[in-house]
Structure 1
Amino acid sequence: MVSLSKLPHEPPSSPGQNVSVPQPAVSPPQAADDIEMPLPSSPQTFFLGSLLTLAVLAAVHAASSIILPVVLAFVLQLILQPAVHLLDRIGLPRAIGALLAILVVVGALVGFVAALSLPAATWAEKLPEGLPRLETHLVVLKRPIEALQKVIQQAEHVADAPDRKGAIVSVRRDLGLTGALFAGTRAVIDGLFTTVLVLYFLLVAGDIFLRRIVEVLPNFRDKRQAVDISQQVEADISAYLLTITAMNAAVGIATAVAMYFCGLGDPLLWGAAAFLLNYVPILGPLLGTVMFLLAGMLSFDSLWWALLPPALYFGIHLVEGETLTPLLLARRFTLNPVLVILSLVFWFWMWGVPGAILAVPMLAILKIVSDRVRPLKALGHILEG
């Protein structure tokens, strides 16, 4: 109940005096700029945006041999840019600093591959000898595998027709293993050369693209937003990649030590494999578990002893993936795990293994940009974990 004594008293109005009756305050309608996460109000905007997205993805898929090295160069630039800035501060020219940083990365990659070539060749020689042991361990799965082979053979007989695709397959088979390896090696070398070339000029140019964008933008608010997005992307993605690299190195070292003590042999090879596979979230550790299971079956006679390498690897990944890495990255990255899986599958289909490695950094960049651009805030909210 409202007390009457608390109501304001008004003097009585004289006859003929106009009395203004107070109207209830009506709040003005909320402006469009005040909406926190605006959604497209016109169906045409939604459909045009969808068509533009599909067109961009089709162009990315068609020109993957050019776009993939460029995207990889941009991601590597985020890692190497702080080192080039540091060399620039101590008086080393940017051109020499960028060249030095790239030479260090390329030298480390070449040394890494050279160190693993001998153990990989040794395991390739052991493979024919270990196949009988592998068949012994997998005798339980022999009948299901034979049934699956019969189904596949029947499907091949049904689908066997002289079409154009079959002719292409036969031509590719005529090339042989050497031709296929040569074509694959040439594609990898071309991609690496393009990546190194673009990366060098990106490091030398520095912030020139950001300066030009800031100069073109019309008002101070847009200029400040562009600088904020650029700095946030560089800081977060650099921190993410450096943290993941450090954690992957720790996983590789722990895996190498574990494989050495369990007697698997060639611990450097298994540590390097664990290091590389950990760059692909979820799918990489699953593939690593299967790889260590096969390696254990090829190396040990006892089935229980053969299960020890995958169990150790899975335990190491469980400690790293479920405790250490989330603890270090939870403040910077909270991505939707379902969208992470879909991104991994999609970019693996688009670009193969490099696409799976780049899937999470690209998704994180999209979230950072969406959180800071008002029309895209709804997308950033969906991407959030």
Structure 2
Amino acid sequence: MPPVPDIDDAATFEAHQQQRAIEVVRRSRMSVQTVCLLVLTILAVFYTLYFAAAIILPIVLALVVNLLLSAPMRMLHFRLRLPKTLAALLLILCVFGVVGAIGTAISVPAAGWIARAPQTMAALQAHLVVLRGPIQMIQAANDRIANFLSVVGGQRSHGGGAQVVLLAPSSTPGGGLGTFGSSVLLGTRAFVGQLFTMMLMLFFLLAQGDSLLRRFVEIMPTFADKRRAVQIAYQIERNVSLYLTTITIINVLVGLANMVQCWVFGLPNPLLWGVVAFLLNYIPIIGPMTGIVVYFVVSLFVFPSILQALLPPAVYLCIHLMEGETITPMVLARRFTLNPVLVMGSLMFWDWLWGVWGAFLSVPLLAVFKIICDHVDVLTPIGHIVGGPTRPRTVQSAIMPGRSKWHAD
């Protein structure tokens, strides 16, 4: 079976991939032993990713950031004739300099909002007095269910089962604060260690990543395998870097639009909320939903009525709908389409596995997985399933493959 051609026409590409997937499914026969071994292998991989996240997550982050910086790296090395080591160092300093400057600019207002949180809770409760009745009803229903379950559990234990009583350790005065401080210090130390690991790995990927790929291609046994490896690396770098660059530019515009609307409505610290919108927009679906809640809560602290407080989150929602339903699909639909159901599943899985960083990496990792599946014959059906919604003309070309110029393959 020939390698996947570099096709700009999405309809023709999808028709060709569908034909390849049908041929693979028709030829493949998997035994029960093979399926069991495959399931055990996948579980072992997930087990390793979960328990070795402290070392694997910084490496994966470095790989993704390396894809984002590949184009500036080439410009510095080939056009400006800078050595790779110096170009990699300059890129890392620029990226973390920008991140540090933005973090410094928003750290003071963020700390101020956190410090004022206990004093503003009374104002928040006053604004939400309308919801007090429904919340009390929900709490009463929850208490009834808890009491019912406790009664049922007590009857079962009285009927012959042994009743287990869990004793919580007694808390000493100041113990909670000390535990919180220790956890913060441990979390900060772990974050700094992972950040250093990522920076170090990113530097060597930028400086010597090409030589590593060249060595890997050299050990491929046949020319077809060498060509396939180069195609996979090229497609991953081009598509993922295109996605990350495009999404970053779009998220910057979303952050600027929200910063302007916060300034227009009179919300304090518009730069802070613009940066929050910029960061949350990297996480599909869950990020914008969180942003709407954050904007609504902040607006409750500023505006006297709930109707006025609904204006900033409503504008935030309109900006997100315009970006998510019009701009992003128009820019990325030709080369980067993924199934929305699998995007949501990938988001939930990686968020459970690696937290916020996993949610950020969910779409790039799913895209890399699809590219690998598209270029490996056995995995072609999986790659076709991971692909995005099929357009009507794609379906027509798949039903009548004689009209496709790749049908001869």
> Do Structure 1 and Structure 2 share a fold, with TM-score over 0.5?
yes
Partner secondary structure for residue 30 of structure 2: coil
Partner of 1:238: 241
For 1:210, the aligned partner's letter is L
Counterpart pick for 2:60 among 32, 50, 71: 71
Matches within 5 A, 1:44-59: 44-59=33-48
Residue by residue over 1:279-329, the C-alpha shift from the partner in whole angstroms, topping out at 9 and shown as x without a partner, is 001000000001111111111111110101100100111100110001001
The structural deviation recorded for 1:174 is 6.5
Counterpart pick for 1:162 among 166, 172, 183: 166
How far apart, CA to CA, are the structure 2 residues paired with 1:119 and 1:232?
Answer: 42
Partner of 1:25: none
Partner of 2:371: 368
My pick for the range that moved more, 246-255 or 174-183, is: 174-183
My pick for the range that moved more, 344-353 or 153-162, is: 153-162
For 1:378, the aligned partner's letter is P
How far apart, CA to CA, are the structure 1 residues paired with 2:242 and 2:203?
Answer: 21
Partner of 1:331: 334
Contact 2:22 2:381 in 1 (8 A): no
Unaligned runs of 5+ in 1: 1-31
The structural deviation recorded for 1:342 is 0.8
Higher normalized contact order (CA 8 Å, seq sep 6+, divided by chain length):
2
Do structure 1's residue 103 and structure 2's residue 96 form an aligned pair? no
Matches within 5 A, 1:180-329: 180-329=183-332
Partner of 1:94: 84
How far apart, CA to CA, are the structure 1 residues paired with 2:383 and 2:261?
Answer: 41
How far apart, CA to CA, are the structure 1 residues paired with 2:310 and 2:386?
Answer: 38
Counterpart pick for 1:35 among 3, 23, 27: 23
Number of paired residues? 352
My pick for the range that moved more, 238-247 or 121-130, is: 121-130
For 1:101, the aligned partner's letter is L
Partner of 2:109: 119
Matches within 5 A, 1:80-91: 80-89=69-78, 90-91=80-81
The structural deviation recorded for 1:123 is 1.9
Partner secondary structure for residue 234 of structure 1: helix
How far apart, CA to CA, are the structure 1 residues paired with 2:22 and 2:117?
Answer: 65
How far apart, CA to CA, are the structure 2 residues paired with 1:112 and 1:168?
Answer: 43
Matches within 5 A, 1:123-162: 123-149=113-139, 151=142, 155=146, 161-162=165-166
Against the structure 1 CA distance between its residues 147 and 173, is the aligned structure 2 distance closer, same or farther, given a 3 Å change threshold? farther
Unaligned runs of 5+ in 2: 1-19, 154-163, 389-409
Partner of 2:384: 381
Contact 1:277 1:288 in 2 (8 A): yes
For 2:326, the aligned partner's letter is T
Residue by residue over 1:222-248, the C-alpha shift from the partner in whole angstroms, topping out at 9 and shown as x without a partner, is 100000110010000000000000000
Residue by residue over 1:210-230, the C-alpha shift from the partner in whole angstroms, topping out at 9 and shown as x without a partner, is 212211111110100000110
The structural deviation recorded for 1:167 is 5.3
Calculate the TM-score normalised by the size of structure 2: 0.80
How far apart, CA to CA, are the structure 2 residues paired with 1:98 and 1:182?
Answer: 31
How far apart, CA to CA, are the structure 1 residues paired with 2:308 and 2:204?
Answer: 52
Structure 1 runs (4+) greater than 6 angstroms displaced: 168-172
For 1:376, the aligned partner's letter is L
How far apart, CA to CA, are the structure 2 residues paired with 1:224 and 1:172?
Answer: 61
How far apart, CA to CA, are the structure 1 residues paired with 2:102 and 2:342?
Answer: 33
Partner secondary structure for residue 264 of structure 1: coil
The structural deviation recorded for 1:50 is 1.4
Partner of 2:401: none
For 1:366, the aligned partner's letter is F
For 2:81, the aligned partner's letter is G
The structural deviation recorded for 1:147 is 5.0
How far apart, CA to CA, are the structure 1 residues paired with 2:219 and 2:88?
Answer: 27
How far apart, CA to CA, are the structure 1 residues paired with 2:316 and 2:310?
Answer: 10
How far apart, CA to CA, are the structure 2 residues paired with 1:97 and 1:384?
Answer: 36
Calculate the TM-score normalised by the size of structure 1: 0.85
How far apart, CA to CA, are the structure 1 residues paired with 2:31 and 2:257?
Answer: 55
My pick for the range that moved more, 145-154 or 278-287, is: 145-154
Structure whose alpha-carbon radius of gyration is higher: 1
For 1:35, the aligned partner's letter is E
The structural deviation recorded for 1:39 is 4.1
Counterpart pick for 1:340 among 339, 343, 347: 343
My pick for the range that moved more, 254-263 or 39-48, is: 39-48
Residue by residue over 1:88-116, the C-alpha shift from the partner in whole angstroms, topping out at 9 and shown as x without a partner, is 11221111111111111111111111000
For 1:118, the aligned partner's letter is V
How far apart, CA to CA, are the structure 2 residues paired with 1:330 and 1:172?
Answer: 54
